Amino acid sequence: MEKQEYYPGFAGDWQAPMDGLAATHAVDSLLIMRSTPTHMVTAVSAGPRQDTYHPGDAGPKSVTPGCHKLYCEQVVNEDRPLEVADARTDPEWAGNEDLVRFGLGTYLGYPLHDADGTVLGTLCALHGEGFDFDAGEPSLREDLGALAGRIDAAIAARGD
């Protein structure tokens, strides 16, 4: 089974927890994204802006001529979390598709892995304005990190 095939059926397992986190933390968008060689593909979308990203929607990575690097692309490439406080004021991210097309310039994302530790995609939060990822108890940062760990464990348990 190819790595990208881990994602079909994820909505059944992860939609409710993601809807709950989006509501609890009042964040615009929570996503599980699958990485392919050329695109980041939405697997699960939650939050008030869930209609911005539908399951199956694909954003081109920077390997596509004329395309800016995606937030999630960097998470996958570097295999580490990424926080972007405000893409509007950050030259590295000013041309990002999420900001330019959808006005979502605040980002926090975690890599998702298979049992061997290979990065498959991301779990991420996007917001239209500045967002304090550390506010609340537990914070969105803590909740997303914990959910990413649960997703990794579920993928590993599948044994694919």
pLDDT at position 6 over 60 = no
Say if residues 106 and 129 touch (Cβ distance below 8 Å): yes
On the question of pLDDT at 134 being above 90, the answer is yes
Per the listing, tokens 């994602």 go with 7
| Number of domains the chain is built from | 1
153 closest CA partner among 126, 98, 115: 115
User: What is the span of the domain harbouring residue 9?
Assistant: 3-158
pLDDT above 90: percentage of residues in the chain = 68
Regarding pTM above 0.85, the answer is yes
For 142-160, write each residue's pLDDT tens digit. Answer: 999 999 999 999 888 876 5
- 140: domain CATH number is 3.30.450.40
Which pLDDT score is estimated for 3?
36
Q: Which residues pair with 44 in a beta bridge?
A: 32
Alpha-carbon dihedral 63, 65, 71, 73, rounded to 10 degrees: -10
State the pLDDT at residue 106: 95
pLDDT-wise least confident of 49-58, 77-86, 123-132: 49-58
